[in-house]
Copies of this chain bind each other. A is one copy, B any other.
Amino acid sequence: MRIYDERNVSMMMDLYEMTMANGYYLLENQDTHVAFDVFYRRNPDSAGFAIFTGLEQIVEYLEGLHFDPEDIDYFRSLGQFDESFLSYLADFCFSGDLYAFPEGTIMYPNEPVITVVAPLVEAQLIETELLTQINHQSLIATKARRIVRSAEGRPVSDFGARRAHNNDAAIYGARAAYIGGVAATATVSSGQHFGIPVSGTMAHSWVMFYKNELESFRKFASIYPDNCILLVDTYDVLHQGLPNAIQVFTEMRDKGIASKNYGIRIDSGDLAYLTARSRKMLDEAGFTDAKIIISNSLDEYTIRSILDQGGQVDAFGVGERLITSRSEPVFGAVYKLCAVEEDGQMIPRIKLSETPEKITNPGLKDVYRIYDADGHAVADLITRQGEELDLSSRYDFVDPIKPWKRRAFENCTAKKLQVKIIEAGKRTSQLPSAKEIASYVDRQLREEIWDTEQRFENPHIHYLDMSPAYYEMKMDMLETNR
Residues of chain A whose beta carbon lies under 8 Å from any beta carbon of chain B: 5, 7-9, 11-20, 22-24, 26-27, 29, 34, 36, 71, 74, 78, 80, 120, 124, 127-129, 131-133, 135-137, 139-140, 159, 161-173, 186-189, 191-192, 198-206, 208-209, 211, 219-220, 223-224, 227, 234-236, 268-269, 320-321, 324-326, 329-332, 335-337, 340, 349-355, 358, 481
Please determine whether B19 and A202 come into contact, CB atoms closer than 8 angstroms: yes
Q: List 25 A-B contacts (CB under 8 A).
A: A9-B167, A12-B188, A15-B188, A15-B200, A16-B186, A17-B200, A18-B200, A19-B200, A19-B224, A20-B205, A23-B206, A23-B219, A36-B205, A78-B198, A127-B203, A128-B162, A128-B187, A132-B164, A163-B330, A164-B165, A166-B172, A204-B351, A208-B340, A234-B352, A235-B481
A236 cross-chain contacts in B, Cβ below 8 A = 352, 354
Question: Which B residues are CB-close (under 8 A) to A161?
Answer: 12-14, 128, 132
The reply to whether B352 and A332 form a contact with Cβ atoms under 8 Å apart is no
Cα–Cα, bound, A355→B233 (Å): 12
A350 contacts across to B, CB distance below 8 A: 208
Cα A455 to Cα B385 in complex, Å, equals: 55
- Beyond A15-B188, A163-B330, 16 additional contacts (C-beta under 8 Å) are A12-B167, A13-B187, A14-B162, A19-B202, A74-B188, A124-B205, A128-B161, A136-B164, A136-B165, A166-B169, A166-B173, A234-B351, A234-B352, A324-B330, A325-B329, A326-B329
Cα distance, A74 to B189, chains bound together (Å): 10
Contacts of A140 in B (CB 8 A): 165
Asked if residues A187 and B12 are in contact (CB atoms below 8 Å), the reply is yes
- Are A211 and B131 touching (Cβ within 8 A)? no
Question: Quick one: which of B19, B170, B199, B206 contacts A132, CB cutoff 8 A?
Answer: B170
Question: Do A235 and B352 touch (CB < 8 A)?
Answer: yes
Given contacts A132-B164, A173-B166, A268-B355, contact A12 B189 (CB under 8 A): yes
A209 touches B120 (CB 8 A): yes
B135 touches A163 (CB 8 A): yes
Contact of A15 among B132, B198, B234, B321 (CB under 8 A): B198
With A and B bound together, what is the CA distance between A326 and B11 in angstroms? 25
The smallest C-beta distance from A225 to any residue of chain B, in angstroms, reads 12
Q: Which residue on chain B has the smallest CB distance to residue A74?
A: B192
CA–CA, A135 and B236, complex, Å: 28
Cβ–Cβ < 8 Å partners of A234 in chain B? 351-352
Oligomeric state, in copies: 2
**Which residue of chain B has the shortest Cβ distance to A137 in the bound complex?**
B166
Is A340 a contact partner of B209 (Cβ separation < 8 A)? yes
Are the CB atoms of B162 and A132 closer together than 8 Å?
yes
Complex CA distance for A19 and B205, rounded to whole angstroms: 12
- Determine the residue in chain B with the shortest Cβ distance to A169: B165
Bound Cα distance from A132 to B191, whole angstroms: 18
A11 / chain B contacts, CB cutoff of 8 Å:
188-189, 192
* Docked pose: A160 CA to B160 CA in angstroms: 22
Q: Distance in Å from the Cβ of A326 to the closest Cβ of chain B?
A: 6
B169 and A223 contacting across the interface, CB-CB below 8 Å? no
Bound-state Cα–Cα, A34 to B34, Å: 60
Q: Name the contact of A203 in the complex, choosing from B16, B168, B235, B329 (C-beta under 8 A).
A: B16
**Using Cβ atoms and an 8 Å threshold, which residues of chain B touch A7?**
5, 7, 167
Residues of B within 8 A of A235 (CB): 352, 481
Q: Considering the chains assembled together, what is the distance between the CA atoms of A11 and B169 in angstroms?
A: 14
> Which one, B13, B202, B209, B340, contacts A16 given CB within 8 A?
B202
Q: A186 and B14: CB pair below 8 A?
A: yes
Instruction: Give the residues in chain B near A133, CB-CB below 8 Å.
Output: 166
> In the assembled complex, which residues on chain B have CB atoms less than 8 Å from the CB atom of A127?
162, 203
Residues of B within 8 A of A12 (CB): 161, 167, 170-171, 187-189
Given known pairs A74-B192, A349-B211, the reply for A132 and B166 (CB within 8 Å) is yes
In the assembled complex, the CB of A228 is this many whole angstroms from the nearest CB of chain B, namely 11
Choice from B136, B159, B163, B481 contacting A166 with Cβ under 8 Å: B136
Contacts of A20 in B (CB 8 A): 202-203, 205-206
CB of A23 within 8 A of CB of B220, answer yes
Bound CA–CA A326/B186 (angstroms):
25
Question: Residue A209 contacts which of B29, B135, B321, B324 (CB distance < 8 angstroms)?
Answer: B29
Contact B208 A14, beta carbon cutoff 8 Å: no
